[in-house]
Amino acid sequence: MDAARKKILVVDDDPDALKMLSVILENMGYGVVCAGTGKEALEKLENDAIDLVLLDVVMPDMDGYTFFQTLRSDVDKRDLPVIVLTGKPDMKEIFKMEGVSIVMDKPFEPQVLLSKINEMLS
């Protein structure tokens, strides 16, 4: 797979997490678009061709669950792959019931995350 052709939207309100994920993904050849809120992420989806979303759960103005529900209600974007990254163990099962195939605990191992991303984009 040519990672450079794939663009990942990273949605997290923690600037350090955004920076870390951006560096990891860019070093692997992915294009990265960052959003600090769910609302900002929805705007980015309108302006960029995104191949996968890395989604935090706890964020201001629109949490990850509301963002995911909004995404799934959009016919053009409902099949976009999403990986949820959360420090809230109780949210894992909720996202699984909603059809998210990969929900990872924070903190996570970067190599495991990259493996999951490659799996979803191949």
Q: What pLDDT, on the 0 to 100 scale, is given for residue 89?
A: 84
Q: What is the DSSP string of 33-98?
A: EEESSHHHHHHHHHHS--SEEEEES--SSS-HHHHHHHHHHSTTTTT--EEEEES-HHHHHHHHHT
What are the mean pLDDT values of the chain's consecutive 10-residue runs (122 residues total)? 79 96 95 95 94 94 93 93 92 90 92 95 90
Q: What pLDDT, on the 0 to 100 scale, is given for residue 2?
A: 56
pTM: 0.94
Q: What pLDDT, on the 0 to 100 scale, is given for residue 60?
A: 87
Q: What pLDDT, on the 0 to 100 scale, is given for residue 4?
A: 55
CATH among 2.40.50.100, 3.40.50.2300, 3.10.310.40, 3.40.30.10 for 3-116: 3.40.50.2300
